[in-house]
């Protein structure tokens, strides 16, 4: 069984997906982390996106996702980069990196491989539209820009004292715009996805709403 959960930045989809998977006792894959890991590779190797041969760079990257006890780790050529994935530097560049066709092709192949022969909750931007258009369940999680920015701010404020709510709001807006208007697999609700608006829901409310739909079908 595939449960596809898509939605914009800061909608709470990864936390919700992780808890839904835990409740159902199945695997969870956060595909945003994979695009973030590729972005870490570009940053660490000082690669300029306009100057590289993207196919050969992608061929030189081995990306592995380890899922153990519900926790996900990402290895880049054998190095565990999980702790670097959520930095603001990575968040700023990841939209650009994830808009590259060759990057997406490789990530989608890995996502399909990981999900083979198992039940899984998989979250991202294009899961219900491109990666698993035949998923048994599809959800599209949204929330107002204000509440999404507030959630991200609460998550990051302790690690970065220069951050302001306004700055985060601006970054999320830019990322949404970029993710929704890119040519390759843009962020889009699948026609048959169920919308969950989380503006006034806390995480357990989101999880319960999804579980109720799954359990009643």
Interface residues with ligand DC (CB under 6 A) are 9, 31-32, 35-36, 94-95, 98, 124-127, 175, 179
Yes or no: say if 148 and 11 are a contact pair by the CB < 8 Å rule: yes
Query: Torsions phi, psi of 108, nearest 5?
Result: -65, -40
Nearer to ligand DC, 189 or 215 (CB): 189
- Other Cβ atoms less than 10 A from the Cβ of 157: the count is 14
Shortest reach from residue 37's CB to ligand DC, in Å: 10
Burial (CB < 10 A; 0-12, 13-18, 19+), residue 114, is: middle
Shortest reach from residue 175's CB to ligand DC, in Å: 5
Nearer to ligand DC, 66 or 212 (CB): 66
Nearer to ligand DC, 125 or 138 (CB): 125
Shortest reach from residue 39's CB to ligand DC, in Å: 8
Nearer to ligand DC, 70 or 212 (CB): 70
Yes or no: say if 103 and 58 are a contact pair by the CB < 8 Å rule: yes
């Amino acid at each position: 069984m595939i449960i596809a959960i898509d939605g914009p930045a800061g909608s709470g989809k990864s936390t919700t997906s992780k808890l839904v998977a835990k409740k159902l006792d199945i695997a969870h894959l956060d595909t945003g982390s994979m695009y973030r890991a590729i972005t870490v590779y570009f940053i660490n190797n000082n690669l300029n996106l306009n100057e590289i041969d993207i196919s050969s760079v992608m061929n030189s990257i081995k990306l592995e996702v380890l899922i153990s006890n519900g926790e996900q780790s990402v290895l880049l050529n054998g190095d565990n980069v999980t702790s670097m994935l959520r930095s603001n530097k990575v968040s700023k560049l990841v939209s650009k990196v994830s808009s590259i066709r060759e990057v997406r092709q490789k990530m989608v192949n890995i996502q399909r491989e990981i999900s083979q022969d198992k039940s899984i909750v998989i979250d991202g931007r294009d899961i219900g539209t491109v990666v698993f258009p035949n998923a048994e369940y599809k959800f599209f999680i949204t929330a107002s820009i204000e509440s999404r920015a507030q959630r991200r701010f609460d998550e990051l404020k302790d690690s970065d004292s220069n951050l302001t709510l306004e700055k985060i709001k601006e970054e999320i807006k830019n990322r949404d715009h970029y993710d929704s208007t890119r040519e390759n697999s843009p962020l889009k609700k699948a026609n048959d996805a169920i919308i969950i608006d989380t503006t006034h829901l806390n995480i357990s409310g989101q999880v319960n709403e999804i579980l109720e739909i799954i359990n009643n079908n």
